[in-house]
Amino acid sequence: MYTIVTLATFVTMGLALVRAVLGPSVYDRVLAVNMFGTKTVLLLSVIAFLFGRPDFLDLALAYALINFIGVLAVLEFFRSRSLRRRAERGATR
Amino acid sequence: MTVLFGVFLLSLLVITAIAIVRTENLFVAVMLMGIASLLIAANFFILDAADVALTEAAVGAGISTVLFLSALALTSERERSPTSRKLLSFTVVVVAALVVIYATFDKPRFGDPEAPAQTHVAPWYLEKTPEYIDIPNVVTAVLGSYRAYDTLGEVFVVFTAGVGVLFLLGPGTGAAGQRTGPTDPGAGLRHHLIPRVVGRVLIPFILLFGLYVQFHGEYGPGGGFQAGALIAAAIVLYALLEGERQALRVLPERLLVGLMAGGALLYAGVGIAGMALGGNFLDYSVLAGNPVKGQQLGILLIEAGVGITVTGTLLGIFHAFAARER
Amino acid sequence: MDTVLDILSWFLLVAGGCSVLIGGIGAVRMPDLYTRMHAASVTDSLGSILVIVGVMLQAGLSLAAIKLGAILLFLLLTGPTASNALASAALLAGTRPFAELPEEPEDAR
Amino acid sequence: MELLGLFHYWVFAILLMTGFYAVIAKLNLVKKLIGLTLFQAAVFLLYITMGKVDGGTAPIFPDGTAAGIFSNPLPQVLILTAIVVGISTTALGLGIVVRIKEEYGSIEEDRIQETDRR
């Protein structure tokens, strides 16, 4: 039964990868990475039970906690980039 | 089944790697690196390396993306020059790949218990750890005690890399500070209310989890390297939300440099304490009356040293990059 | 009792697997960023709930169940926040929704 | 099945060479570093693959005794430290790239060489 969920997650990871490679906009890629992260958390929690070592859920917990940082870093990157561009435009005017 | 899972994940990894090399947009390459890191961590997990997977998770999910993005913000987002000597490089790479693949036919089959790697020292480590050190996690035992020299060296490499980054990008080098725009990029995401509220909820839990990983490293996957990266990730999250300057106010630069050096010194100090008590360098058996207890105490102390140095170094590097931006 | 729990958890796991899969297909097939985000994030949270509650039923009352609960809690906290942050960043950067009506005034934002 | 057992090593070869291609063929310095990171990841995978034992589990004793089959802990220790060292050295590389950008105004190898020739 775990195998079915694992396979579904695998296929979804593949689909998210398709989205990340195709794009087209950078936001699509961020979305794909975020989705990939959630799917990895699910995959790791299910596989921990599939292999019979539920004490390894720490790994999924780590991802559940810090995947968010990547998205925020991207957000901050966009924000500082738009500020920089505005400043450059102001300077050349 | 493990083999099939591995085959699937590795195929995705190859596709990701090729996409990373092909894209000319460096931002996209960094995003795809994030996916590659997740795939690698899942692979490590399937290959029974829970500790390694946790390290990859702690480093790859937060710190690595943040560092690459700050470097991109300081340089450029696009590759401007076309690929050079494309055909020649491609030929070299394909020939080399074929040679390596040809060499793999002599390798032992995947998972072979009779492979040379499995038959020499590894059984000894597995057999003797309950007797000599008596902790369940053999990886921590090997890392902290049997091969403590190695780990000491690695800690000093991390320390040196951190010092190198501070020398390159620290205050007073090059053009830093000359670019004073009308904006304040050091302010962070203060105006994004929802991420800020949720992020602030998460920070204490990440710190708590980091401490759990640090001190539970003898019993489950974890240890100083993972914990250091996790705690650094929590502080980086704080810096992203509240602005980098506020984070520096909480953990000033001096303190970070102190942590960097202090952790490495604690590690080396444990080794010297062992010598002072009549043992060899990094022999913990003499630290307590009972050799097994001494080993456990020694591992606890050096893991703490590793955690402190890794936290200090990663945060020092992050601040060095972030300070350039403002 | 155990059989009932087993059947329930299998049902949840299969439903979760389907939901995850549908989200993945949606993220590839939908026409623009916001619809893709919708497909991905809705089934992300639903799929996570179904799968993790399904696994929790298998784990029973143990440390693993508590850890799974924590994982679910953090996933449900961060997932929608990340979607919200991403959508607002995209909207501010000028990506217009695909389904926007043409007669809507330009400055309605 | 016999050949599938070598698949992991083939992926190692392909990944290694993909990273290497980025290092030698791309002129952008950040891209070179990304290639180097891929190269590193390939080596990590090779080590961990070699440590796997059929039917084994992670070398963390569930009940405190060494009963059962466990995978090899030694490659895991080497790679665990190498990952953190890898990110630190990559950061050092990125620091150098940032300084190059500030001094030369570009991170493309050909333009840097052009500036140097003048």
Provide CB contacts within 8 A for B20, sequence distance 6+. Answer: B29, B32, B33, B36, D18, D22, D34, D38
* Measured distance CA(C5)–CA(C7) in Å, rounded: 5
DSSP tag of D28: B
Note whether A55 contacts D57, CB cutoff 8 Å. no
Contact D85, D37 (CB under 8 A): no
C47 and C13 Cβ atoms separated by less than 8 Å = no
Answer yes or no: are the C-beta atoms of D69 and D57 closer than 8 Å: yes
Structure tokens at A65: 């906690």
As a whole number of angstroms, the distance between CA A15 and CA A17 comes to 5
Chains B and D, touching by 3 or more CB pairs within 8 angstroms: yes
CA atoms within 13 A on the CB side of C13: 25
- Report d(CA B2, CA B5) in Å as an integer: 5
Q: Does A8 touch chain C (CB under 8 A)?
A: yes
User: For residue A8, which amino acid is it?
Assistant: A
**Confidence at B172, pLDDT banded by 50, 70, 90:** low
Contacts of B217 (CB under 8 A, 6+ apart): B137, B140, B223, B224, B226, B227, B303
Instruction: Characterize D52-91 residue by residue with b for buried, 16 or more Cβ atoms within 10 angstroms of its Cβ, and e for exposed.
Output: bbeebbbbbbeeeebeeebbbbbbbbbbbbbbbbbbbbbb
Angstrom distance (rounded) from CA B57 to CA D14: 23
pLDDT band at C108 (very low <50, low <70, confident <90, very high): very low
The C-alpha atoms of residue B243 and residue B237 are separated, in whole angstroms, by: 10
pLDDT, position C68:
92
A55 touches chain C (CB under 8 A): yes
- Within 10 Å of residue C4's Cβ, how many Cβ atoms? 9
Enter the tokens of residue B5. 């899972």
Q: How confident is the model at residue B176 (pLDDT cuts 50, 70, 90)?
A: very low
Is residue D24 within 8 Å of residue B20, measured between CB atoms?
Answer: no
A contact test, residue of B31, B183, B241 with most A CBs within 10 A: B31
Question: What pLDDT, on a 0 to 100 scale, did the predictor assign at position A92?
Answer: 66
**Separation of alpha carbons B242 and D1, rounded Å:** 54
Report whether pLDDT(B174) > 60: no
Touching check for B19 and chain A: CB below 8 Å? yes
Structure tokens of A79? Answer: 């924000």
Give the distance from residue C10's alpha carbon to the nearest chain A alpha carbon, in angstroms: 7
Report yes or no: A31 at the C interface, CB cutoff 8 Å: yes
Instruction: For residue A58, list chain D residues with Cβ-Cβ distance below 8 A.
Output: none
CB contact under 8 A, A80 and B8: no
Q: Identity (one letter) of the amino acid at C25?
A: I
End-to-end CA distance of chain C: 54
* Total-model pTM: 0.91
**Measured between CB atoms, does C73 come within 8 Å of chain B?**
no
Backbone angles phi, psi at D53, to 5 degrees: -120, 135
Distance, CA of B56 to CA of B58 (rounded, Å): 6
pLDDT of residue D38: 93
> How far off is chain A from B105, nearest CA to CA, in Å?
29
CA angle A51, D38, B67 (to 5 degrees): 100
Say if residues A44 and B42 touch (Cβ distance below 8 Å): yes
Q: How far apart are CA C109 and CA D77, in angstroms?
A: 54
SS3 of residue B16 by DSSP? helix
Say how far apart CA C35 and CA C53 lie, in whole Å. Answer: 27
Per this entry, what is the length of chain D? 118
Mean pLDDT of B264-273: 91
Distance from CA of A66 to the nearest CA of C (A): 9
pLDDT at residue B184, as a whole number? 55
pLDDT band for position B12 (cuts 50, 70, 90): very high
pLDDT at A3: 85
Residues of D with Cβ-Cβ distance to B64 under 8 angstroms: 87, 90
Query: Pick the residue with more confidence: B159 or C108?
Result: B159
B&D contacts, CB < 8 Å: 316
Per the DSSP assignment, residues forming a β-bridge with D60 are B137
User: What are the structure tokens assigned to B303, written together?
Assistant: 């893991």
Residues from chain A that touch C95, judged by Cβ atoms under 8 A, are 25, 27
Report ipTM for this prediction: 0.91
Instruction: Kindly tell me whether chain D and chain C come into contact, counting contact as 3+ Cβ pairs under 8 Å.
Output: no
Inter-residue contact D88 to B161 (CB < 8 Å): yes
Span B42-72, pLDDT tens digits: 999 988 888 999 999 999 888 999 999 999 9
In the block, which residue shows the tokens 């050092």?
Answer: D92
| Inter-chain Cβ pairs, chain A and chain C, closer than 8 A | 134
With a CB cutoff of 8 Å and minimum separation 6, the contacts of B189 are: A72, A75, A76, A79, B195, B196, B199, B240, B241
- Flag whether residue D23 sits within 8 Å of chain B, measured between CB atoms: no
Tens-place pLDDT, residues C5-50:
889 988 999 999 999 999 899 988 888 888 888 888 888 888 999 9
Provide the 3-class DSSP secondary structure of residue B93. Answer: helix
The Cα–Cα gap between B189 and A71 comes to: 12
- CA B63 distance to own-chain centroid: 8
Contact pairs from chain B to chain C, CB under 8 Å: 17
In whole angstroms, what is the distance from residue D78 CA to residue D81 CA? 6
Please name the member of C17, C37, C89 whose beta carbon is closest to the beta carbon of A5.
C17
- Greatest distance between any 2 Cα atoms in chain A: 65
Distance CA B132, CA B180 (A): 59
Nearest Cα of chain A lies from the Cα of B248 at a distance, in angstroms, of 17
Q: Of B239, D8, D75, B160, nearest to A72 (Cα)?
A: B239
Q: Residue B175's pLDDT is what?
A: 52
Distance from C-alpha of C77 to C-alpha of A30, rounded to nearest angstrom: 18
Q: Does D68 touch chain B (CB under 8 A)?
A: no
Residue B183 is predicted with a pLDDT of 47
**Cβ neighbours of B194 in C, within 8 Å:** 81, 84-85
D contact chains, 3+ CB pairs < 8 A: A, B
Task: Tell me how far apart the alpha carbons of residues B6 and D31 are, in angstroms, rounded to a whole number.
Answer: 27
Q: Do chains A and C touch (3 or more CB pairs under 8 A)?
A: yes
Which residues of chain B make contact with A56, given a CB cutoff of 8 A?
45, 50, 220-221
Each residue of B127-168: pLDDT tens digit?
A: 888 888 888 888 888 888 888 888 999 999 999 999 999 988
Q: CB within 8 A of B270, min separation 6: which ones?
A: B282, B284, B287, B298, B301, B302, B305
Evaluate the CA torsion angle C95, C97, C100, C102 in order and state its sign.
Answer: positive
Q: Measure the CA–CA gap between B146 and B138, rounded to whole angstroms.
A: 10
**A54 close to C (CB below 8 A):** yes
Q: How far out from the chain centre does Cα A74 lie?
A: 11
The rounded distance, in Å, linking the Cα atoms of B242 and B251 is 13
Q: Which residues of D touch B113 (CB under 8 A)?
A: 53-54, 56, 69
Q: Residue-wise pLDDT tens for chain D (118 aa)?
A: 567 778 888 999 999 999 999 999 888 899 999 999 999 999 999 999 888 888 888 888 877 666 778 888 899 999 999 999 999 999 999 999 999 988 888 888 888 888 888 8
Chain B partners within 8 Å of C81 (Cβ): 194-195, 198-199
**CA–CA distance, A16 with D12 (Å, rounded to integer):** 23
Tell me which residue of D93, D92, D82 sits closest to D44, measured CA to CA. D82
- Minimal C-alpha gap between A54 and chain D (Å): 10
User: What is the predicted pLDDT for the residue at D21?
Assistant: 92
Residue D64: the pLDDT is 62
